[in-house]
Homo-oligomer: A and B are copies of this chain.
């Protein structure tokens, strides 16, 4: 939407709800000569929390980019008890993709990436199997294989972390990566690891959800994208969608129908993350439009 050449600041914040908070934030930006191009706020009246996403053009803004967080912290965040994050449009997220053997989510992400749909860089792809190297090659993205078994998991994850650090990776997408991420890696990437689970969570947590859905005889199946936390499949949900099935669908059909869901749901979640439109609060997401 915006002029691609102009840089912008994007701020996500939450704080205890009080009268006039919206006004002080917008005045802070306006008074410092920032032109607001997006503003959305939401008040959780049950918990009394104010959430906000605001984006403004940095061209002519009085406070230098590198000082912005400090100034905001001093002038507003501290007095109003705000928790905030500031991102810059031109500082693109650097996203690593983790895959195993199935290509459908990977192709969907890379097709978006190649089409220039997203303000992101994908410096590398990690896998525990070599199967999808040909896909990475097609798109000219470095592909690294770290076979994982019970004995080498810690060691291999350390190598993965080293690789991520070297490449300044800021977030990770598990595009049907069939390994559980260890607490250590989660701790390094809190609310920065996006998973796609092939069920309508919290139904069918864990392995083989399509088999479980078939067994239970549900009439609708789903897919869920969420941030990874230590508890399996229990992190903040970003996006879900469903598709109708019937008694005629075998497990094989569920797998096929589910793949379409998985890729769509994952890509929507990734897009929201890249656009910095997701705020996590108490294991739930506020997803701005």
List chain A positions with a Cβ less than 8 A from chain B: 1, 19-20, 22-23, 26-27, 30, 35-39, 41-46, 102-104, 107-108, 111, 114-115, 117, 138-139, 200-204, 216-220, 222, 236-242, 244, 246-248, 250-252, 256, 260, 264, 267-268, 283-287, 289
Shortest beta-carbon distance from A247 to chain B in Å: 5
Shortest Cβ distance from residue A35 to the other chain B in the assembled complex, whole angstroms: 7
**CA distance in complex: A286, B264 (Å):** 27
Does more than half of chain A's interface fall in helix, strand or loop, or is it mixed? Answer: mixed
Copies of this chain held together in the complex: 4
Which B residues are in CB contact (< 8 Å) with A217? 236-237, 283-285
- Min CB–CB distance A114 → chain B (angstroms): 7
A and B contact pairs by CB, cutoff 8 A, 10 listed: A23-B23, A38-B43, A39-B41, A44-B247, A201-B203, A201-B218, A244-B244, A246-B287, A260-B264, A260-B268
Query: Which residue, of A217, A283, A286, has the highest number of chain B Cβ atoms within 10 A?
Result: A217
Closest chain B residue to A200, Cβ basis: B200
Q: Identify which of B36, B139, B284 contacts A247 (C-beta below 8 A).
A: B284
B contact residues around A285 at 8 Å (CB): 217, 247
